[in-house]
Amino acid sequence: MEYLSLLPGRLTTSMAAMATGKQPATIRDWVRRGILTRCGGTPKRPIYRLDDVMAAQEAAKPSRPGQRAA
């Protein structure tokens, strides 16, 4: 269940995924890797700032050995 009302500029995980064209798992991975931080919500239903999501999309992602080039 999504939040019924959010402050302007705030996104849920699924909304952040739609805004970036990524999967929700990618958004959660960015959080796990420290590229994106939550600004509220609950542990199961986090909220993100739109500006932070857009910055995370543009951020250089650390590469891992053996990772395919995008």
pLDDT top residue among 35 and 4 = 35
**Beta strand pairing call for 10-11 and 46-49:** antiparallel
Would you say residue 60 has pLDDT above 60?
A: yes
Q: DSSP secondary-structure letter at 42?
A: -
Split at pLDDT 50, 70, 90, the class of 20 is very high
21-35 confidence digits (pLDDT tens): 999 999 999 999 899
Average of pLDDT values for 46-61?
Answer: 91
The pLDDT, as a whole number, for residue 2 is 61
Helices marked H in 21-63: 24-32, 50-58
The pLDDT, as a whole number, for residue 5 is 80
